[in-house]
Amino acid sequence: MAHWKFSLRDIFSAERPLIGVIHLPPLPGSPRYKGSMAGVVDRAKRDARVYAESGLDGLILENYGDLPFYPEGVPPETVAAMALVGAEVHRAIDIPMGVNVLRNDALSALGLAAVLDASFIRVNVLMGAMITDQGIVQGQAHRLLRQRSVLRLSTKIFADVMVKHARPLVHQDMHMAARELVHRGMADALIVTGEATGAQPLLDELKSVKEAVGETPVLAGSGVMPENVAEVLAIADGAIVGTSLKRDGHTENEVEAERVKALLKSVGR
For residue 3, name the pLDDT band (cuts at 50, 70, 90): very low
Angstrom distances, CA of residue 5 to CA of 8, 71, 143, 187, 232: 10, 30, 21, 10, 23
SS (H, E, C) the chain: CCCCCCCHHHCCCCCCCEEEEEECCCCCCCCCCCCCHHHHHHHHHHHHHHHHHHCCCEEEEECCCCCCCCCCCCCHHHHHHHHHHHHHHHHHCCCCEEEECCCCCHHHHHHHHHHHCCCEEEECCCCCEEEECCEEEECCHHHHHHHHHHCCCCCEEEEECCCCCEEECCCCCHHHHHHHHHHCCCCCEEEECCCCCCCCCCHHHHHHHHHHHCCCCEEECCCCCCCCHHHHHCCCCEEEECHHHEHHHCCCCCECHHHHHHHHHHCCC
Cβ–Cβ < 8 Å for 215, 243: no
Per residue in 118-147, pLDDT (tens digit) is: 999 999 999 999 899 989 999 999 999 999
Per residue in 156-199, pLDDT (tens digit) is: 999 999 877 778 777 788 889 999 999 999 999 999 987 766 56
Give the orientation angle of helix 257-266 with respect to helix 37-54, to 10 degrees.
Answer: 30
For residue 208, name the pLDDT band (cuts at 50, 70, 90): very high
**Which of 135, 134, 143, 137 lies closest to 109 in space, CA to CA?**
143
Cβ–Cβ < 8 Å for 102, 72: no
Whole-number mean pLDDT of the chain? Answer: 93
How does strand 135-138 pair with strand 129-132? antiparallel
Domains of the chain, CATH where assigned: 8-266 (3.20.20.390)
Task: State the pTM of this model.
Answer: 0.94
Give the orientation angle of helix 37-54 with respect to helix 76-92, to 10 degrees.
Answer: 40
Count CA atoms closer than 13 A to 187's CA, side-chain side.
Answer: 30
Please state whether the peptide bond connecting residue 68 to the residue before it is cis, i.e. omega within 30 degrees of 0: yes
Per residue in 29-88, pLDDT (tens digit) is: 999 999 999 999 999 999 999 999 999 999 999 999 999 999 989 999 999 999 999 999
